[in-house]
Amino acid sequence: MISRRTLAASVAALVVAPLLSACGGDSDAATGTGGSGTKKVGDVNIGPDQNRIRGKKVDDIAALVPAAIRKRGTLKLGQSADASPPLGFYATDDKTRIGSEIDLATLVADTLGLKLDNDEVSWENLFVGLDSGKFDAVFSNVTVTEERKEKYDFATYRLDNISFEAKKGTDWKIEGPQDVAGRTIAVSSGTNQEKILVDWSKQNEKAGRKPVSIKYFQKDTDYYLALQSGRIDAYLGPSPSAAYHVASAGQSQIIGTLSGAGDDLQGKIAATTKKGSGLVDAYAAAVNHVIEDGSYGRVLKRWGLSSEAVPKSEINPPGLPKI
């Protein structure tokens, strides 16, 4: 098992490595591990003192929570233990869980008048925990799929997008296959974004345009070093990770964003609960409340995810189709 300290060090390496020559004199921006208080990498606070945005109980929404959970007073929450900034990772004290997912879950719990009882587990155990009743909710970047809807209920709270990231200063924009013809683009093997890029390359060839030269690397830091050195023109990856790197490193920019589900469907991320638990209406109502009062938008902004905001929470919308 990877230790929390190893995860924290990996996060620091991810955001600091491209900056080694640029921030050596800025002790705050260069801080990646150890200590307490407010620590920043670029404009992003990765210290344990988060000054998290909080909400207030709304009685009519709290009344939607099943009586047994209201009586208990806690929302048993499952989140992935992986270090995946800005969604969820450990702060510089190596023990405080931070990120957009726990911030949004906190707002929902506050609105429902419940205290978070948070537990980080491996990805597969999130669903085991829902099945067994260990968790009332999972806030952990779960995409709505038709297969998952057979067992779980969903209340959406963020778009599921992927983004092209290029070196800062370019005027290149990507909106479709024609914009990547003849370009060298890196992507992670076995991902949905790889499938989309391969499909786009085939479309280009069929239309008489040049294919995409697709490159693969072992680590995220390798992608970003290749981008800065000019060995690749762009990197296609999950929008949250791209947005976090842009905000923290300051050497790149987003030049195109599309649905992680491809051209035919907008993918959506959702609070997840066991089907029939009676909680999905409460989650959706709470998300809609924090959208309306502006606290939702403030959370997404602080993590660089404003482009993934939803106008409202949907219950069990169309999901990624079965393969």
CATH number of residue 90's parent domain: 3.40.190.10
Q: 166 and 246: one domain?
A: yes
What's the confidence (pLDDT) of residue 24? Answer: 27
Q: Per the domain annotation, does 273 fall within a domain?
A: yes
Q: Are 86 and 244 in contact (CB under 8 A)?
A: yes
What's the confidence (pLDDT) of residue 83? Answer: 79
Residue 181 belongs to domain spanning: 162-259
Q: Using a CB cutoff of 8 Å and minimum separation of 24, what contacts does 2-5 make?
A: 4/90, 4/94, 4/95, 5/33, 5/94
Q: 149 and 56: one domain?
A: yes
Q: 175 and 129: one domain?
A: no
192: nearest Cα among 306, 321, 313: 321
Q: 147 and 56: one domain?
A: yes
Q: 191 and 72: one domain?
A: no
Q: Tell me the backbone φ, ψ of residue 278, rounded to 5 degrees.
A: 85, 10
Would you state the structure tokens that stand for residue 138, as one six-digit string?
Answer: 């999972």
Burial of 290-314, coded b for 16+ CB within 10 Å and e otherwise, reads bbeeebbbebbebbbbeebebeebb
Cβ neighbours of 175 (radius 10 Å): 11
Q: 151 and 61: one domain?
A: yes
* Rounded CA separation 91/105 (Å): 17
What's the confidence (pLDDT) of residue 100? Answer: 95
322: nearest Cα among 269, 261, 273, 240: 261
Q: 173 and 254: one domain?
A: yes
What's the confidence (pLDDT) of residue 37? Answer: 63
237: nearest Cα among 127, 80, 87: 87
Which residue is it, tokens 């990856």?
237
Q: Per the domain annotation, does 298 fall within a domain?
A: yes
Q: Are 299 and 106 in contact (CB under 8 A)?
A: no
Q: 302 and 234: one domain?
A: no
Q: Per the domain annotation, does 154 fall within a domain?
A: yes
Q: 65 and 76: one domain?
A: yes
Cβ neighbours of 27 (radius 10 Å): 9
Q: Point out the residues of the chain with pLDDT beneath 70.
A: 1-38, 41-43, 323
**Angle between helix 4-16 and 239-249 (nearest 10):** 70
What's the confidence (pLDDT) of residue 42? Answer: 62
* Rounded CA separation 197/116 (Å): 39
What's the confidence (pLDDT) of residue 176? Answer: 95
Q: Per the domain annotation, does 34 fall within a domain?
A: no
- Indicate the residue among 231, 259, 287 that finishes a domain: 259
Q: 311 and 294: one domain?
A: yes
Q: Per the domain annotation, does 44 fall within a domain?
A: no
Q: Per the domain annotation, does 83 fall within a domain?
A: yes
- Indicate the residue among 259, 285, 303 that finishes a domain: 259
- Indicate the residue among 239, 259, 279 that finishes a domain: 259
Q: 63 and 109: one domain?
A: yes
Q: Per the domain annotation, does 188 fall within a domain?
A: yes
What's the confidence (pLDDT) of residue 36? Answer: 57
* Rounded CA separation 137/205 (Å): 45
Q: 220 and 253: one domain?
A: yes
pTM of the predicted model as reported, rounded to 2 decimal places: 0.79
86: nearest Cα among 313, 304, 236: 304
Q: Per the domain annotation, does 236 fall within a domain?
A: yes
What's the confidence (pLDDT) of residue 247? Answer: 82
- How many independent structural domains does the chain possess? 2
